[in-house]
Amino acid sequence: MMNRYKNINTALIHGGISIDERTGAVNVPIYQTSTYKQDGLGKMRGYEYSRTGNPTREALEALIAELEGGIAGFAFGSGMAATTAVLSLFKSGDRVLISSNVYGGTFRVLNNIFDNFNISYGIVDTSDLTAFESAINKDVKAVIIESPANPLMTVTDIAAVADISHNHGICVIVDNTFMTPYLQRPLALGADIVVHSATKYLGGHSDLVAGLAVVKDKGLAERIAYIQNATGGVLGPFDSFLLIKGIKTLGVRMDRHVENATKIAESLKTNAAVKSIHYPGLKDDPGYEVNKKQADAAGAMISFELKEGYDIRRFFESLELIMLAESLGGVESLVCHPSSMTHASIPEDIRKKVGITDGLIRLSVGIEDADDILTDLNRAIERSRT
């Protein structure tokens, strides 16, 4: 299912399987069924059991495969279920490298679950290609990168990491949650597998939890299909329907997210209360050039720290519009405190080492009026002055 539509704005709406063949309904129905009648022994109509295959989920899987430019997509009950299925490709003795600031749950599943199966991991700053290459040894079979990475928005050169990795037979897995295929297509940059927390921008409305994986290689597609059916972390038909519906408006949402984020990042940058800001859309951000080369925009995730003399507890409590909550990528603006929330599962010494300070604030810029978001931020910063 390589891209049939040249323009992603059209593929978002018509990609995958976009109509119901039987009735012509312009939305794929919610096939809320666990099983399918067989016309005789061995005579199935293409489906036998919904863990193995469900038409609503299949429409979503075909859609994400097309958007990411892969040959097969897989839908899971959460982003972590997608990552877990992908990590199940590896075996005892293998080693996985991860970017120094990845989603806390990715770290946790490696540190506390896969470690029990003797799959080890190493943390490396993948934005530093020399550091990355020197972390490679014969056991390393995969690298997981996020670009921009959570929560410091560190940008990794995906094509360069893929080149180095492929020289060593290493599988390149990109968590594309922050960018979505609308802004960045890792498979075309050389990655082997893309994973998503579709809970975030793809769903876009903070109303579901889902995960996706996409590959471009037939052998990998067969192995992940096997794992998906064997381990069973599939997405249900109703959530598959909701996710397809969310994806249809991804383009217009992302355009507004990026426009708002740019405005807010520029304003925060000149705010005297702000000590540091991380947003690869700012020209003097260390990731600006690489991000510009590999992505169509810088997304809408910003992180920043306030100077001494500002109390972040009071900052969070003073917000009136922006909500303090886990998650990101929805239409509404959300803030979080990575060191105690999304990245709390990472031990303090590692957090400090990679720069996830207790003063770091992460902002998921929504699609409300940008001036309203800014007013709320500035008011809360003002009120947090000690």
Residues annotated as part of the active site: 51, 103, 175, 200
Please identify which residue in 84, 150, 240, 260 interacts with ligand PLP, judged by CB under 6 A.
Answer: 150
| CB nearer ligand PLP, residue 177 or residue 303 | 177
Q: How far is the CB of 211 from ligand PLP (least distance, A)?
A: 5
Q: Which of 66, 84, 87, 103 binds ligand PLP (CB under 6 A)?
A: 103
Cβ proximity to ligand PLP, 237 vs 274, nearer residue: 237
* Residues facing residue 310 across a β-bridge: 385
Q: How far is the CB of 198 from ligand PLP (least distance, A)?
A: 7
Query: How many whole angstroms separate alpha carbon 23 and alpha carbon 18?
Result: 12
Find the binding residues for ligand PLP in span 205-234 (CB under 6 A).
209, 211
121/178 with CB nearer ligand PLP: 178
Number of residues in contact with ligand PLP under rule CB under 6 A: 15
Minimum CB distance to ligand PLP, residue 38 (Å): 34
Q: Which residue's CB is nearer to ligand PLP, number 95 or number 200?
A: 200
Question: Smallest Cα–Cα separation from 211: which of 83, 30, 62?
Answer: 83
The least CB distance from residue 9 to ligand PLP, in Å, is 24
In the bound complex, which residue of the shown chain has the CB atom lying closest to ligand PLP? 79
Rg (CA), the chain: 21
CA distances in angstroms from 159 to 103, 279, 293, listed in the order given:
21, 21, 10
Return d(Cα 49, Cα 67) in angstroms, integer: 27
Could you list the beta-strand ranges (E) of the chain. Answer: 72-76, 95-99, 120-124, 140-146, 171-175, 193-197, 211-215, 274-278, 301-306, 323-324, 334-336, 360-364
Binding string, 65-94, against ligand PLP, x = CB under 6 A? Answer: -------------xxx--------------
* Cβ count within 10 A of residue 54: 25
Site string for ligand PLP, 169-208 (x = CB under 6 A): ------x-xx------------------x-xx--------
Tell me the C-alpha to C-alpha distance, in Å, between residue 309 and each of 12, 222, 296.
46, 56, 37
Show the beta-strand stretches assigned E in 94-197: 95-99, 120-124, 140-146, 171-175, 193-197
Contact positions vs ligand PLP (CB under 6 A) = 78-80, 103, 105, 146, 150, 175, 177-178, 197, 199-200, 209, 211
